[in-house]
């Protein structure tokens, strides 16, 4: 009964690879559909910026040969998939001897920690707020206060970030505006540094959490209202169970299942939106690295980060999907259990 069955596991893992494949293929195909290949385009702009370059055509041509851009597209595509699998995208365009991968790795922990904390926090707060809003027995005063927390729901994360920087950091000087830590502290496992890092993380975190929790809250409210009308919920009340028990075991326990599915589907857009937050706050994560790479037209770094984030997101979704049967006994239910 229940639990993880093999067919479900295989199905989810296949979805994981399919998602990654579609994602990385889109980033390969679309630019080429539009006519120009990215490397040439980027070299041209670089040269334009540096003014006249002698033998520009020859340089481009030699680049093209060395990057294999003269090969047929399918060959290029297969080579590209090879890069994806090996996490190897070659050298950074802008900082030549450095490998693109090495440009990205230092930024990765910052992003991973910030985003996972933000995602989990916003989901937890949103679910709590939403289920209280959808519960009939929630005290009136709380019912009237809760909707206030939805105020920022529709604002894009990064715009809310700009507002926070200008008010809390620049006007009130309560918290640091940008960066991951101050120059004055020594990076390492010491208390001042950790405190400084936490302080720097507050504003980015707030700007993601406050703007994204409303969506979860609204969804959860609807689900909770639905559960409120279910027969088993009414029976639980008729049994004279404590309101807390009814709320948690017969309310949230059921309403959260579809909310988790929505969460898995929403991770992608949450991460996408958060990338911009890093850029606004000059937070030393992949988002900021990406912004610099865009400024410097560093094609390989852009590609590395994009594909990495696609894979990380897919992994997050996969983990959620695999955990799901553990909390919903129905999902992998097979017929004839009794026999």
Partner 1 sequence: MASDQKVLEVNDLNVHYFTPRGAVIAANAVNLYVKEGEIVGLVGESGCGKTTVAMSILQMVSAPGRIVGGEIKIEGQNIVNLPEKELRKIRWRKLALIPQGAMNSLNPVIKIREQMEDGITAHEKVRGVALRDKVFKLLNDVGLPERVYNMFPHELSGGMKQRVCIAMAVALNPVIIIADEPTSALDVVVQRVVAQTLLDVKTRLGVSMIMIGHDMGLQAQMVDRVAVMYAGNLVEVGPVGSIFEHPYHPYTRLLIDAIPSTKQKKSLKVTEGLTHDLRNPPRGCCFQFRCPFVRDACREKPPAFKQMAPDHFVACVQY
Partner 2 sequence: MEQPIISVQDATKIYGGGFLSTSKPFVALDRFSLDIYESQAKIVTIAGESGSGKTTLANLVLGFILPSSGKIMYKGQDVSTMTREQRRIYRKEVQAIFQDPYEVYNPFYRVSHIFNMVVRHFNLAQNKNEAQQLIEDALNVVGLRGSEILEKYPHQLSGGQRQRIMVARAYMLRPRLIVADEPVSAVDASLRAMILDIMLKLRDRHHISFLYITHDLSTAYQISDKMYVLFQGTTVERGNAGKIIENPRHPYVQELIDSIPVPDPKMKWNTNITLPPEEVMRMKSSVGCRFYPRCAKHMDICTRAFPEYTQVEEDHEVACYLYQ
Partner 3 sequence: MAVLATNSNTQAAARRVNIWDTPWLNAKFVTGSSIIVLVLLFGLLGPLFWNTDLAFTASSPVNLPPMWDKGGSPEHPLGTESNGRDMLAQLVVGIPASLKVGLLAASIGMGIGILLGSLAGYLGGWTDHIIRTITDSVITIPSLMVLISIAAYVRMPDTTAMALILALFAWPGPTRLIRSQVLTLRERGFVRMALLSNVPALEIMLFEMVPNMLPWLAASLTGGISGAILGATGLEALGLGPTRVPSLGTIINYALNSSALVRGMVWWWLPPIITLVIIFTAFFLMTVGLDEIANPRLRGYGNGK
Binding site for partner 1 (CB under 8 A): 1-2, 136, 230-232, 234-243, 245, 249-250, 253-254, 257, 327-330, 333, 337-338
Q: Which of 70, 83, 64, 73 is nearest to 303 (CA)?
A: 83
With CB under 8 A as the contact rule, the residue among 7, 45, 98, 269 that binds partner 2 is: 7
The verdict on 267 binding partner 3 (CB under 8 A) reads yes
**Own/partner long-range contacts of 17-23 (Cβ < 8 Å, ≥24 apart):** 19/310, 19/314, 19/317, 20/84, 20/310, 20/311, 20/314, 23/307, 23/310, 23/314
Spatial contact of 174 and 199, defined as CB atoms under 8 Å apart: no
Give CA–CA dist 116/123, Å, rounded.
Answer: 11
What are the structure tokens assigned to 322, written together? 């695999």
* Cα atoms in the Cβ-side hemisphere of radius 13 Å centred on 167: 8
What is the 8-class DSSP label of residue 106? G
As measured in angstroms, the least distance from the Cβ of 2 to partner 2 is 15
* x/- letters, 233..252, toward partner 3 (CB under 8 A): -x------------------
With CB under 8 A as the contact rule, the residue among 126, 305, 324, 325 that binds partner 3 is: 305
249 contact choice in partner 3, partner 1, partner 2, none (CB below 5 to 8 Å, kind-dependent): partner 1
Largest Cα–Cα distance of the chain, in whole Å? 86
With CB under 8 A as the contact rule, the residue among 129, 216, 310, 325 that binds partner 3 is: 310
Spatial contact of 81 and 22, defined as CB atoms under 8 Å apart: no
Q: Which of 4, 2, 1 is nearest to 321 (CA)?
A: 4
As measured in angstroms, the least distance from the Cβ of 4 to partner 2 is 14
99: which strand partners? 91
> Which range binds partner 2 by CB under 8 A, 164-172, 198-206, 209-217, 328-336?
328-336
Q: Which of 139, 140, 144, 39 is nearest to 89 (CA)?
A: 39
The verdict on 334 binding partner 2 (CB under 8 A) reads yes
* x/- letters, 275..314, toward partner 2 (CB under 8 A): ----------------------------------------
236 contact choice in partner 2, partner 1, partner 3, none (CB below 5 to 8 Å, kind-dependent): partner 1
Judged by beta carbon, residue 131 or residue 286, the one nearer partner 1 is: 131
Give CA–CA dist 285/39, Å, rounded.
Answer: 25
Give CA–CA dist 158/211, Å, rounded.
Answer: 9
335 contact choice in partner 1, partner 3, partner 2, none (CB below 5 to 8 Å, kind-dependent): partner 2
Positions touching partner 3 (CB under 8 A) are: 15, 18-19, 22-23, 26-27, 30-31, 34, 36, 38, 41-42, 133, 136, 140, 143-144, 147, 153-156, 158-159, 162-163, 165-166, 170, 218, 221-222, 225-226, 229, 231, 234, 264-265, 267-269, 271-273, 275-276, 279-280, 290-291, 294-295, 297, 299, 302-303, 305-306, 309-310, 313-314, 317
């Amino acid at each position: 009964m229940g639990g993880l069955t093999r067919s479900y596991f295989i199905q989810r893992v296949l979805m994981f690879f399919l998602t990654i494949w579609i994602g990385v293929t889109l980033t390969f195909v679309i630019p080429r559909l539009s006519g120009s290949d990215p490397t040439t385009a980027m070299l041209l702009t670089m040269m334009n910026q540096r003014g006249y370059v002698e033998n520009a055509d020859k340089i481009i041509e030699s680049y093209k040969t060395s990057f294999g851009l003269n090969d047929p597209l399918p060959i290029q595509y297969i080579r590209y998939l090879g890069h994806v699998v090996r996490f190897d995208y070659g050298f950074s365009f802008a900082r030549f001897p450095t490998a693109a991968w090495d440009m990205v790795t230092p930024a990765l922990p910052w992003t991973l920690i910030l985003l996972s904390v933000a995602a989990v926090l916003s989901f937890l707060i949103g679910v709590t707020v939403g289920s209280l809003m959808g519960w009939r027995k929630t005290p009136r005063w709380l019912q009237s206060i809760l909707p206030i927390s939805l105020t920022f729901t529709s604002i894009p994360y990064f715009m809310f970030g700009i507002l926070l920087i200008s008010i809390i950091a620049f006007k009130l000087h309560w918290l640091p505006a940008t960066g991951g830590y101050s120059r004055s502290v020594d990076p390492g496992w010491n208390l001042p540094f950790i405190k400084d890092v936490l302080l720097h993380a507050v504003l980015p975190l707030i700007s993601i959490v406050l703007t994204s929790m409303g969506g979860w809250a609204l969804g959860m409210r609807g689900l909770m209202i639905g559960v409120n009308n279910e027969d088993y919920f009414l029976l639980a009340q008729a049994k004279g169970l404590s309101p807390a028990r009814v709320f948690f075991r017969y309310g949230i326990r059921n309403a959260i299942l579809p909310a988790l599915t929505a969460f898995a589907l929403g991770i992608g857009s949450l991460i996408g939106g958060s990338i911009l937050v890093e850029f606004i706050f000059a937070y030393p994560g992949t988002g900021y690295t990406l912004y610099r790479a865009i400024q410097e037209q560093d094609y390989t770094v852009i590609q590395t980060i994009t594909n990495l984030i696609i894979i990380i997101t897919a992994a997050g979704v996969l983990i959620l999907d695999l955990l799901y049967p553990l909390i919903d006994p129905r999902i992998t239910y097979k017929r004839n259990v009794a026999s």
